[in-house]
Amino acid sequence: MTDDKSSKPESKTGNFSRRDVLSITAAGALAAATAPISRIASAQAKKPINISFWTFENPQQRPWVHKRVNMFMEKNPNVKVDFQYFAFGDLGKKVSVGFATGTAPDGFVSQDWFMPTWQAKGLLAPLDVQRLGYSSLKTFTDDFAPAFVAGAVQKGKAYGYPLWFYGYVNYLNTKQFKEVGLDAAKDWPKTWDQLGEVAKRLTIKEGNKFTRQGFKFAMHTAAWTMFQFNAILHQCGGAWFDKAGKCTINNAAGLKAMTIRASIAKQYGAEDPADSIATGPLPQMDWLKERASMFFCHPIPPAAIESQNPKMLSEGYFRPVQYPGVQAGKGYTTTYGFNLVVNARAAKEKQEALQDMYKFMMSDLGDAWKDTAPFPPARKSGWADKPEVKKFPYVDEIIIARDRGVALPQTVVYNELGDAVHKGIQQIMLNNADIQKTLNEIAAEVDRATAAFKPT
């Protein structure tokens, strides 16, 4: 889940206490003298290795990653991992600062939209796919969706080991649909116009105050702004950049997309952008507390629902459906994911230890699903056919969203783009700024960032 949680970095390394040199008794020395040379060489090779590893915070994913890291250290007591995590929206910026100051970790989880930035600056080491358990680069790439591989493979080399990969879906409160005479299974909105009309029908107000918003867009972070808006832009025929690298959000397609984005509040009166109880850890809080009937979100774990609304979970009056489309039946979402990567500046033995750790982490996707469902692993193999996956409610909707979705923009100025779009949407929705003028300002700001970017 992409939920933010501001917390101090955690540094935990499990139980590690081993001297570099063992005291050898006379009998032990005799045994060593008669041991096979290969066994002695292997024992001598197990010298201590200290590596640092960073990831993002999330109530399920981060603990699972940490668990696998600790298990790896138990199996490899010569390896000590300094494990740290940061709020989801801060991780990329923390890594950027780390590279600039020489304090970047040896390995980390990279959001896939940051891969172009690291690669343009030569900051990632290529991975040995055979060390990861694949016979060739082709068998590696064949195990992942093409859109995801595009960000992880460059010039015939793999620079990222895909971890999770998923899209957004539209979560409905089926009880509230029923209250207004709608059948969520049949009447879920297939187009943006239908989304507005259904949201309007679901909305409840007391005077000018909403007691229930028909639909809710996230407004709390740039990351969520990009996740939710990206697919709308593509559906309208837009693109973030032209072939020359100029930002094109301010063209006719961008204007259409932003008008759709604003329409739930401005045209249909079904949303108050300033009225929200969303938090960093739970951006979907308005939906969980039944203050909003629909919300675009990544797969929501049952534990997150239960923590805020046990009745909703126990009675099962919710379901995910696909994004609306400009045309009915042609809706699709943003799909995105995460790569395990290695710092090119890390020593060779650290790079090798990290890849061994990554292979171990991903060696049991059944364990990953058990702990982190319904977040689907990026790999095609080794998990989707398991009974525990197939019986998960609406898992097909989650997989469809992942496989049909469009990727986030692959750009070296993603941070600047996200910040500019987020600020622009705030101006449009909260200050009633002119859409076209705001889009022009966004494009100009992004173009300045592109011009200022230096690969090295």
Closest CA to 122 of 99, 147, 88: 99
pLDDT exceeds cutoff 80 at 2: no
Q: Do 309 and 384 sit in the same domain of this protein?
A: no
The reply to whether 12 falls in a domain is no
Distance, in Å, from the CA atom of 370 to the CA atom of 303, rounded to the nearest integer, reads 12
How confident is the model over 406-410, as a mean pLDDT? 91
**What is the reported pLDDT for 332?**
95
Model pTM? 0.84
The helix (run of H) or strand (run of E) holding residue 372 is helix 365-372
The reply to whether 21 falls in a domain is no
Amino acid identity of residue 194, one-letter, is: Q
Distance, in Å, from the CA atom of 124 to the CA atom of 118, rounded to the nearest integer, reads 6
Range of the domain at 417: 169-332+413-452
φ, ψ of residue 56 in degrees (nearest 5): -100, 160
Of the listed ranges 4-8, 54-58, 288-292, the one predicted with least confidence: 4-8
Summarised one tens digit per residue, pLDDT across range 358-374 is 999 999 999 999 999 99
pLDDT exceeds cutoff 70 at 16: no
**What is the reported pLDDT for 21?**
31
**What is the reported pLDDT for 43?**
42
The reply to whether 10 falls in a domain is no
End-to-end Cα spacing for the chain: 33
**Exposure string (b/e) for 325-350, b if CB count within 10 Å is 16 or more?**
bbeeeebbbbbbbbbbbbbbebeeeb
pLDDT exceeds cutoff 80 at 107: yes
Q: Do 174 and 312 sit in the same domain of this protein?
A: yes
Summarised one tens digit per residue, pLDDT across range 209-265 is 999 999 999 999 999 999 999 999 999 999 999 999 999 999 999 999 999 999 999
**What is the reported pLDDT for 145?**
79
Question: What is each CA distance from 190 to 92, 339, 399, in whole angstroms?
Answer: 34, 32, 18
Bigger pLDDT: 119 or 23? 119
Q: Do 61 and 41 sit in the same domain of this protein?
A: yes
Of the listed ranges 10-19, 125-134, 345-354, the one predicted with least confidence: 10-19
Distance, in Å, from the CA atom of 196 to the CA atom of 214, rounded to the nearest integer, reads 8
Summarised one tens digit per residue, pLDDT across range 292-318 is 999 999 999 999 999 999 999 999 999
Distance, in Å, from the CA atom of 109 to the CA atom of 119, rounded to the nearest integer, reads 14
pLDDT band at 128 (very low <50, low <70, confident <90, very high): very high
pLDDT exceeds cutoff 60 at 148: yes
The reply to whether 238 falls in a domain is yes
Residue 318 contacts residue 176 (beta carbons within 8 Å): no
Q: Do 220 and 287 sit in the same domain of this protein?
A: yes
How many separate domains does the chain show?
Answer: 2
How large is the angle between the packed helices 222-235 and 252-266, nearest 10 degrees?
120
400 DSSP 8-state letter: H
CA–chain centroid gap for 153, Å, is: 18
The helix (run of H) or strand (run of E) holding residue 86 is strand 79-86
CATH number for the domain including 148? 3.40.190.10
The reply to whether 14 falls in a domain is no
Distance, in Å, from the CA atom of 325 to the CA atom of 193, rounded to the nearest integer, reads 9
Bigger pLDDT: 391 or 22? 391
The verdict on whether omega for the bond into residue 299 sits within 30 degrees of 0, i.e. cis, is no
Mean pLDDT of the chain: 89
The reply to whether 9 falls in a domain is no
Q: Do 241 and 378 sit in the same domain of this protein?
A: no
Distance, in Å, from the CA atom of 297 to the CA atom of 283, rounded to the nearest integer, reads 9
Q: Do 327 and 339 sit in the same domain of this protein?
A: no
Query: How is residue 25 written in tokens?
Result: 């008794």
pLDDT exceeds cutoff 70 at 37: no
pLDDT band at 18 (very low <50, low <70, confident <90, very high): very low
Q: Do 285 and 152 sit in the same domain of this protein?
A: no
**What is the reported pLDDT for 300?**
95
**What is the reported pLDDT for 108?**
98
**What is the reported pLDDT for 281?**
80
Q: Do 346 and 211 sit in the same domain of this protein?
A: no
Among residues of the chain, what percentage have pLDDT more than 70?
Answer: 90
Summarised one tens digit per residue, pLDDT across range 158-207 is 999 999 999 999 999 999 999 999 999 999 999 999 999 999 999 999 99
Closest CA to 339 of 127, 57, 134: 127
Amino acid identity of residue 201, one-letter, is: R
**What is the reported pLDDT for 375?**
95
**What is the reported pLDDT for 316?**
97
pLDDT exceeds cutoff 90 at 24: no
Helix (H, G, I), strand (E, B) or coil at 1: coil
Q: Do 378 and 430 sit in the same domain of this protein?
A: no
Residue whose structure tokens are 């689907």: 376
Distance, in Å, from the CA atom of 375 to the CA atom of 76, rounded to the nearest integer, reads 28
The reply to whether 375 falls in a domain is yes
Q: Do 96 and 239 sit in the same domain of this protein?
A: no
Residue whose structure tokens are 């090119």: 344
At a CB cut-off of 8 Å and minimum separation 6, what does 455 contact? 120, 121, 122, 412
The reply to whether 11 falls in a domain is no
Among residues of the chain, what percentage have pLDDT more than 90?
Answer: 80
**What is the reported pLDDT for 213?**
98
At a CB cut-off of 8 Å and minimum separation 6, what does 44 contact? none
pLDDT exceeds cutoff 80 at 324: yes
